Amino acid sequence: MSELVLEGCTSEPLMGYLKALGLLRLVSEQKDAEARGFWRDGVFVLETKLDSDGFLKFFRDEYKPTPLVAPWGARSGFYPGSSESSARKALTDIENTGSLRFEPFQAAIKCVRAILTRLGFSEKVKDEHKLKLMRACRAEFPDALLPWLDAAYVLTSDDRIFPPILGTGGNEGSGSYVSGFAQMAVEALVKRKWDAAVELSLFEKNGANAFGTQTPGHFSPEDIRGVNPWDYLLALEGCCLWASGLSRRADTKTGGGMAAFPYTVHPVAVGGPGLCGADGKRPKTAKRDLAELWLPLWDAPTGLTELLNLLGEGRVSNGRRSARTALDFVVAASGLGVDRGISAFQRMTFLMRNGQTFYATSLGRISVRHVPDIFLVDAVRPWLDGLRRACRDDTTPIRFASALRRVESAIFDFCKYGGGSDRLAQVLAALGGAERELAIGDMKPEKRRTRRPLAGLSSGWLKAAMPTNEDDKRVFRLARGLAFLNPGVKATGRIRRYLEPVEQKGKSWTWGERGGHVVWGGGDVMRNLGAVLIRRLMDAEQNGEPLLPLGSAFPVPLADIAAFLNGETDDVKLDDLLWGLSLVECDNEVAAARSDEEARLPRAYALLKLTLLGGRLEWKPHGRDSLLRINTPKLGDALGGVAMKPEPSIPAKLRAGDVQGACEVAARRLRASRFQPVCGFLADGSRRNIDWSAGGATPERLLAALLFPIPDNAVNQLADLVLRRPSVESLV
How do residues 621-677 score in pLDDT, each as one tens digit? 877 777 787 777 654 445 678 888 889 999 999 999 999 999 999 999 999 988 989
459-463: which pairs have CB atoms within 8 A and are 24 or more residues apart? Answer: 459/584, 459/585, 459/586, 459/587, 459/588, 459/589, 460/373, 460/376, 461/376, 461/424, 461/428, 461/581, 461/584, 462/554, 462/581, 462/584, 462/586, 462/589
Distance (Å, rounded) from C-alpha 184 to C-alpha 510? 62
Residue among 278, 421, 410, 407 nearest 351 (CA): 278
463 burial class (0-12, 13-18, 19+ CB within 10 angstroms)?
exposed
Confidence label for 700 from pLDDT (cuts 50, 70 and 90): very high
Residue 454 one-letter amino acid: L
Specify the pLDDT at position 250: 41
Specify the pLDDT at position 423: 96
Task: Report the pLDDT averaged over residues 186-202.
Answer: 93
Specify the pLDDT at position 245: 47
Residue among 296, 303, 288 nearest 258 (CA): 288
Specify the pLDDT at position 588: 61
Domain boundaries, the chain: 2-51, 82-242, 247-373, 461-731
Q: What percent of the chain has pLDDT over 90?
A: 55
Specify the pLDDT at position 114: 96
Better-scored residue on pLDDT, 429 or 155: 429
For residue 171, the tally of other CB atoms under 10 A from its CB is 23
Distance (Å, rounded) from C-alpha 456 to C-alpha 505? 12
Relative orientation angle of helices 398-416 and 381-391, to the nearest 10 degrees: 140
Distance (Å, rounded) from C-alpha 21 to C-alpha 251? 26
Range from 22-36, 91-105, 165-179 carrying the lowest mean pLDDT: 165-179
pLDDT of residue 256 exceeding 90: no
Specify the pLDDT at position 351: 80
Task: Report the pLDDT averaged over residues 706-728.
Answer: 90
Task: Report the pLDDT averaged over residues 102-112.
Answer: 96
Confidence label for 248 from pLDDT (cuts 50, 70 and 90): very low
Specify the pLDDT at position 285: 63
Range from 57-66, 101-110, 115-124, 484-493 carrying the lowest mean pLDDT: 484-493
What is the bridge-based pairing of β-strands 292-298 and 342-353?
antiparallel
Task: Report the pLDDT averaged over residues 69-86.
Answer: 92
Q: What is the pLDDT of residues 570-595, one digit of tens each?
A: 999 999 999 999 999 986 655 555 65
* Phi (first) and psi of residue 23, to 5 degrees: -70, -35
Confidence label for 447 from pLDDT (cuts 50, 70 and 90): confident
What is the bridge-based pairing of β-strands 302-303 and 36-40?
antiparallel
Contact (Cβ atoms closer than 8 angstroms) between residue 725 and residue 626? yes
Task: Report the pLDDT averaged over residues 489-513.
Answer: 89
Residue among 722, 716, 547 nearest 619 (CA): 716
- Angle (CA) 210 216 219, round 5°: 120
pLDDT of residue 253 exceeding 50: no
Specify the pLDDT at position 636: 46
Q: Coil, helix or strand for 411?
A: helix
For residue 128, the tally of other CB atoms under 10 A from its CB is 7
**Greatest mean pLDDT range, 31-45, 385-399, 541-555:** 31-45
Residue among 33, 31, 11 nearest 21 (CA): 11
Better-scored residue on pLDDT, 347 or 174: 347
Specify the pLDDT at position 252: 41
Residue 477 one-letter amino acid: R
For residue 638, the tally of other CB atoms under 10 A from its CB is 6
Q: Coil, helix or strand for 125?
A: coil
Confidence label for 439 from pLDDT (cuts 50, 70 and 90): very high
Q: What percent of the chain has pLDDT over 70?
A: 89
Confidence label for 394 from pLDDT (cuts 50, 70 and 90): confident
Residue 273 one-letter amino acid: P
Distance (Å, rounded) from C-alpha 108 to C-alpha 78? 12
726 burial class (0-12, 13-18, 19+ CB within 10 angstroms)?
middle
Q: Coil, helix or strand for 607?
A: helix
Task: Report the pLDDT averaged over residues 217-230.
Answer: 83
pLDDT of residue 687 exceeding 70: no
pLDDT of residue 620 exceeding 90: no
Specify the pLDDT at position 355: 59
Contact (Cβ atoms closer than 8 angstroms) between residue 258 and residue 324? yes
For residue 13, the tally of other CB atoms under 10 A from its CB is 24
Q: What is the pLDDT of residues 288-298, one digit of tens each?
A: 778 899 999 99
Contact (Cβ atoms closer than 8 angstroms) between residue 229 and residue 188? yes
Task: Report the pLDDT averaged over residues 459-465.
Answer: 94
Task: Report the pLDDT averaged over residues 671-686.
Answer: 73
**Distance from chain centroid for Cα 590:** 30
Q: Coil, helix or strand for 137?
A: helix
Better-scored residue on pLDDT, 472 or 728: 472
Specify the pLDDT at position 231: 93
Distance (Å, rounded) from C-alpha 84 to C-alpha 538? 81
Contact (Cβ atoms closer than 8 angstroms) between residue 626 and residue 727? yes
Distance (Å, rounded) from C-alpha 317 to C-alpha 323? 5
Give CA torsion, residues 412, 415, 421, 422, to 10 deg: -40
139 contact partners, CB below 8 Å, separation of at least 6? none
**C-alpha radius of gyration, the chain, whole number:** 35
Torsion sign (Cα): 231, 236, 240, 243: positive
Residue among 157, 156, 179 nearest 167 (CA): 179
Confidence label for 254 from pLDDT (cuts 50, 70 and 90): very low
- Angle (CA) 31 34 39, round 5°: 105
- Angle (CA) 256 257 259, round 5°: 65
Q: Is 42 left (phi over 0), alpha (psi -120 to 50) or beta?
A: left
Task: Report the pLDDT averaged over residues 258-273.
Answer: 81
pLDDT of residue 415 exceeding 50: yes
Residue 680 one-letter amino acid: G
For the chain, give percent helix, strand, coil, nearest 5: 45, 15, 40
182 burial class (0-12, 13-18, 19+ CB within 10 angstroms)?
buried
Distance (Å, rounded) from C-alpha 413 to C-alpha 425? 12
Length of the chain: 732
Specify the pLDDT at position 286: 64
pLDDT of residue 452 exceeding 50: yes
Confidence label for 273 from pLDDT (cuts 50, 70 and 90): confident
To the nearest whole number, what is the mean pLDDT of the chain? 87
Give 157-226 as a DSSP string.
SS-EE--GGGTTTSEETTEEHHHHHHHHHIIIIIS-TTTTHHHHHHH-TT-----SS---GGG-TT-TT-
Q: What is the pLDDT of residues 607-617, one digit of tens each?
A: 999 999 988 89
Task: Report the pLDDT averaged over residues 308-323.
Answer: 76
